[in-house]
Structure 1
Amino acid sequence: MITTDFVPGSPCWLDLGSRDIPATAAFYSTVFDWEFKPFGDEAGDYGLFRTDGKTVAGVGPLTEEGARPAWMIYFRTTDARATAQAAEQAGGTVRVAPTDAGEYGSMAQLTDPQGGQFAVWQPGETEGGFEHADAPGSLCWTELYTTDAAGAKEFYGALFGWTTSDMPLPGGGGTYFLLTPAGQGEERMHGGLMELSSDDLSLNGGKPYWHPVFATADCDATVARVTAGGGSVQMGPEDAEGVGRLAVCLDPAGADFVVLTPVEDAKG
């Protein structure tokens, strides 16, 4: 369960790199009824997505050469510089060096040894982070597709202290590894990782990648909004036993995300 009571290693923020922010804002407003609040030129055209007056995510221009439009997931840390150094020592790389954001905090963007990109956020005087989670129209899960599950578990376990538990996939489809922040119970489980071949990761040129899962009260209705808004569906909607009804979607620019009606809501 993702909450706004952030602990070290838990997801605390996510934002989307976009080549056309007005078009991106219009699409997600259609899909999730999000309101877009731009910061203006002084913030590099960065803006916030909000629902019911609460911030759920951010969006800004792509800043890395050759990068594809994609969601970036940030994990809480007490020391962004130390985490960046630890990532390098564990075989990862630092794409964006630790950067101060004034009173708000510090961030760094990193890549794991297999190629999965993620970020870390160290809060400053203000807590920061998303204000709404685990509810329709907000983040409810994070997921890593990787070419080396054992290597990924070792890296993130060393970096964040995450614990993992195994969940066999139906039909002999392999194993899904559930992720929990260090020292937390299963109720704080925040994501999962699964191993795929590079051929199954064509969306990212064969390299591993993280993506967000957004909760919705009606998966099929949300998918209809995705396609009506110019997006597409990679998989689903389909029922996942014990999880709910879900679909893997792409926005019009190709950024991937999942929509999920959790099993309790799906039964309703």
Structure 2
Amino acid sequence: MRLFRLSLTLAVLALSASPALAHFGMIIPSTDVVTDKSKAKVELTVSFSHPMEGKGMDMAKPKAFGVQDGNQKTDLLATLKPTKVMDHDAWSGEFTFKKPGVGTFYLVPEPYFEPAEDKFIEHLTKVVVPAFGEEEGWDAPVGLSAEIVPLTRPFGNYVGNVFTGKVLVDGKPAADVAVEVEYYNKEKAFEAPNEYMTAQVVKTDANGVFNCAVPFAGWWGFAALTDAPETVQKDGAAKKIERGAVLWTKFVEPKRKKK
């Protein structure tokens, strides 16, 4: 019996000592920039996943889904249709650019309960797509309770560029906040050498600002993690809510001229 208890204790300690898988709300557009009028329709895949490991989670229909272009917001919730991402429930929507602009697509999900962490997770997610040469307004906040405001233009970036963002919580800069950085390993082209390499982590400074450079091309997510002031009742107990501010952006390799 003592041997069994010792083995069980060691197993629990090993499990608790392992880094937790990073959760990410995701909005991945069919293109990172719109340059051709014949391809003005952008399809958007909305999911909740562990992007590097390629492990999905079921996502309920979001509370809100829309796009901000300048001072105008368009509700896109009605465009969402059920789909599958990583073999789990997800959503797909669409938006057609009819004029030059910069569309900031945003998502407010239903909180997801994570039994392993005994808390709810709510990731307020954004991605920015420019159209037809316009690039004004990419740094404008949407007004979410938590969001990353880009200080580096969040499109048209090469691999190796340093990306800088500011984390706002209730409209104010959030200091000393952990920001997880993870690659969307859609094609499963990469494998992390160990669990610590799955997600990179940086922290915001006193002004809520963080910096990061990514090592290879593709879609990268930045998730700033804070605790929401409210709780959610589940099974007669008040559960905490992890409120994540998530921003996705694509980094590209330069094209070489053909000789």
Q: TM-score scaled by structure 1? A: 0.29
Higher strand residue share: 2
Q: Which has the larger radius of gyration?
A: 2
**Which is helix-richer, 1 or 2?**
1
Structure 2 length-normalised TM: 0.29
